[in-house]
């Protein structure tokens, strides 16, 4: 199977937090643990954008590199998973991760970290697929059922894309092209209106 990836389209994300809710609901994660979050930049300013962030399932995952007990592993389809039976809750992965994906259930006021929890791409964990232990420890294993992660499936604006990296990038590339075309089209219109020349739309001389 090919690599799977998340991609969030900032032009489409409307910060509805539907993905967050879907994730929580589907994986039954405890309070305080947010496998996915929506971050908004320039909130209320011109150029405001939102992005839904979770584990990016990096190819060269920093978390896996720094883990002192080597509890991370990457599946055939490029999903970075970890073994909670091995995790000791040291938090090193969270120091290395650029996306703030690793989450720790806080146990007690001394903030002793419990075992790390993070997005599994709805692919469960090392336990037997579909078993109760798997669900209890890692949440749903939708991938085994042939489904994509619920966050992406629930995304109302289809901003959050998940699935085969090639497909995701195709979709996104198509979107970018479409947006470019529309931008170009509007540019053409402007040029036509104000300059009176007919633009070349072959794509060879766009500069």
Partner 1 sequence: MIANFIDGPLWYFSQAVFAIGIIWKILSLIVGKKKSDLSVARGSSVPGAIRTIFSRFIPDKGMASHIKLQIIAGYLFHLGLFALLFFAAPHVRFLDENFLGFSWITLPHWGFIVAAQVAFLGLLLLFLHRLMHQVTRLISSTGDYLASIITFIVMLTGCLALLEEFSELRLLHRFSVEIFLIYFPFSSLMHAFTFVPSRAFTGAWFGRRGIKS
Partner 2 sequence: MDALKRSSKTITSLNVNLSLLVCFIVIIFAMLSFSPVFAAEGKLGNSNTATHQLGVKSPATDLWRAVRNRDFGGSKGMSSTSQIKSLGANTFINVKGQEWRKFRQNWLLPYGGYFLVSVVGFLFFLYVVIKKVKIPNGRSGKSVSRLSTMQRVSHWFMVILIGFMALTGLLLLFGRLVAIPVLGLDGFAFVASASKESHNVFGPLVIVSLLLMLIYFIQHNWPAKGDIKWLFSLGGLLSKKHLKIGFFNAGEKLLFWFTIWLGVVLSITGLLLLFPYYEQTEAYTQLAIAIHAIAALLLIAIAFAHVWMVVTIEGTMDAMKDGNVDENWAKYHHSRWYEETTVANKALDVDAHVEEMSSSESRKEGVYQ
Give the binding site for partner 1 (CB under 8 A): 84-85, 88-89, 107-110, 112, 114-115
DSSP code, position 193: H
Distance CA 60, CA 5 (A): 14
Nearest CB to partner 1, comparing residues 121 and 138: 138
Nearest CB to partner 2, comparing residues 113 and 118: 113
At closest approach, how far in Å is the CB of 146 from partner 2? 30
Nearest CB to partner 2, comparing residues 4 and 67: 67
Nearest CB to partner 2, comparing residues 6 and 143: 6
Considering only 179, 185, 186, 201, the residue that binds partner 2 (CB under 8 A) is 179
Considering only 3, 66, 78, 164, the residue that binds partner 2 (CB under 8 A) is 66
At closest approach, how far in Å is the CB of 91 from partner 1? 13
**Number of CB atoms found within 10 A of residue 72's CB:** 21
List the beta bridge partners of residue 50. 40
Tell me the H-state helices in 106-159: 132-138, 150-154
127's contact among partner 1, partner 2, none, with CB below 5 to 8 A by partner kind, is none
Distance CA 33, CA 54 (A): 12
The answer to whether 26 and 121 have CB atoms below 8 angstroms apart is no
Task: Kindly write down the DSSP assignment for every residue of 1-50, as one continuous string.
Answer: ---EEEEE-TTT-----HHHHHHHHHHTPPTT--S-EEEEESTTSTT-EE
Considering only 30, 59, 70, 189, the residue that binds partner 2 (CB under 8 A) is 70
Residue ranges of E strands in 66-187 = 72-74, 80-82, 106-107, 112-113, 160-164
Considering only 25, 174, 180, 186, the residue that binds partner 2 (CB under 8 A) is 180
Query: Interface residues with partner 2 (CB under 8 A)?
Result: 9-11, 15, 17, 20, 32, 34, 37-43, 47, 49, 51, 53, 62, 65-71, 83, 85-92, 94-100, 103, 106, 110-113, 176, 179-180, 183-184, 206-207
């Amino acid at each position: 199977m090919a690599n799977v990836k998340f991609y969030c389209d900032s032009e489409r994300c409307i910060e509805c937090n539907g993905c967050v809710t879907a994730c929580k609901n589907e994986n039954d994660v405890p309070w305080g643990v947010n496998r996915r979050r929506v971050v908004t930049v320039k909130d209320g300013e011109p150029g405001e954008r939102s992005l839904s962030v979770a584990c990016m399932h990096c190819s060269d995952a920093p978390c896996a590199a720094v883990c002192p007990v080597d509890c991370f592993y990457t599946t055939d389809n490029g999903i970075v998973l970890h073994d909670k039976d091995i995790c000791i809750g040291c938090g090193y992965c969270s120091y290395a991760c650029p996306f703030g994906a690793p989450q720790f259930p806080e146990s007690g006021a001394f903030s002793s970290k419990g075992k790390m929890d993070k997005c599994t791409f709805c692919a469960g964990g090392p336990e037997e697929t579909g078993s109760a232990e798997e669900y209890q420890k890692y949440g749903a294993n939708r991938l085994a059922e042939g489904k994509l992660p619920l966050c992406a499936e629930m995304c109302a604006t289809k901003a959050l894309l998940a699935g085969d990296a090639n497909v995701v990038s195709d979709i996104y590339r198509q979107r970018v092209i479409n947006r470019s075309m529309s931008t170009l089209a509007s540019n053409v219109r402007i040029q036509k209106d104000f300059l009176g020349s007919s633009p070349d739309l072959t794509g060879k001389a766009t500069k």
